Amino acid sequence: MRIAMIGLGRMGLNIARRLMQSGHDIVAFDLNPASVEQLADEGAVGAASLADLAAKLAAPRIFWVMLPHGDPTESTVAALRDLAEPGDIIIDGGNSFFKDDIRRARDCAARGVHYVDVGTSGGVWGLERGYCLMIGGEADVVKLLDPIFATLAPGLGAISRTDGRNGNDDRAEHGYVHAGPAGAGHFVKMIHNGIEYGLMQAYAEGFDILRGRTSDTLPEDERFTLNLTDIAEVWRRGSVISSWLLDLCAIGLARDPALDQFSGHVADSGEGRWTIDAAMEEAVPANVLTTALFARYRSRVEDSFADKMLSAMRFGFGGHVEVPQ
């Protein structure tokens, strides 16, 4: 199939490459001409503008947008909607808010243009491993795009099939799923990322407790100097907490046991916040996911006003003095 790829960052570039490796034709556009030139050197057709991109596609034209959520995606989808003809398809493969997808799909439908949202997981490893895809949109349009999704997905691989699983739709076993109508794909990906926050926080706290066992505040015979690199490695093998995230912990510790190359100030990209918003809308308790999100906020604050307020109260009731050093 011939697909337009708009946005050639870390994800977009490798998605385009994986498609090209399997024989799909890519027409590429990015605001950075050097990125377009790089992919063109690998066999893609470069485009100088969105209009030029559209002119190099045949109906029904397929536009895959791989940009940061917010204005970059919003303005690009709006521009493509104006360029598109009835029957054309706009795919948002980034991390957009699912309610924005619902609105965009409605706006596109008014012009006879199809809109598909694709939550894409796999990161920088996706070119090699494949991408887990969570898809929202009209069933017949998703079916038309199946060769694209099947190419990007990891396939069955070495993972054993789930006992008791029934049904005729084996797409989920191959790493992609049609989750529902427009917005459903990004909603599922949003919750996926919220869970990711919780899993990452659990690993981070666990390793921090292991590392802290050397503290001189502990009785001497209860102190341990533990090899975190080896512990991460052994947990990868047969442990009930083995996972790809643990693999990444092991890699990070093997390269830099003290993790000195990292600041410890942890960003959040939005999906964690949206997950908690959804939990509040549904009145679903999300204790772990909420705490994991707040821990990221905390990582970016050295000494907060709240900490000073705690010191003031401790001084007030107990005379504890905690002055700036």
**Which sequence positions are flagged as catalytic?**
189, 196
**In angstroms, how far apart are the furthest CA atoms of the chain?**
77
Nearest to 102 by CA among 77, 125, 124: 77
- The two three-digit tokens of residue 251, written as one number: 């890699």
DSSP conformation letters of 237-285: TT-TT--HHHHHHHHHHHH-TT-TT--------SHHHHHHHHHHHHT--
Cβ burial 82-109 (10 Å sphere, 16+ → b, else e): ebbeeebbbbbbbbbbbebbbebbeebe
- Report the alpha-carbon distance of residue 42 to residue 249 in Å, rounded: 33
